[in-house]
Structure 1
Amino acid sequence: MSFLGKKFPAPIARPMAPFYISGLVILYGVNAAAGAMMTADEYKNDPRNPLTKNPKADSH
Structure 2
Amino acid sequence: MSGLLGKKFNGAVARPMWPFYVSGLVILYGVNSAANAMMTAEEHKNDPRNPLYKNKPASH
Same fold (TM over 0.5): yes
Aligned residue pair count: 58
1:23 shift after superposition: 0.5
1:1-60 matches, cutoff 5 A: 2=2, 4-53=5-54, 54-56=56-58
Structure with greater helix share of residues: 1
Structure 1: which 4+ aligned runs deviate by more than 3 Å?
Answer: none
Give, in angstroms, the shift of residue 55 of structure 1. 3.9
- What is the alpha-carbon root mean square deviation over aligned residues? 1.9
Partners in 2 of 1:14 and 1:55 — Cα distance? 52
Deviation at 1:4, TM superposition (A): 2.3
Report the TM-score, using the length of structure 1 for normalisation: 0.78
Instruction: Please list every run of 5 or more consecutive structure 2 residues that lacks an aligned counterpart in the other structure.
Output: none
Aligned amino acid, residue 11 of structure 1 = A
Identity of aligned residues (%): 75
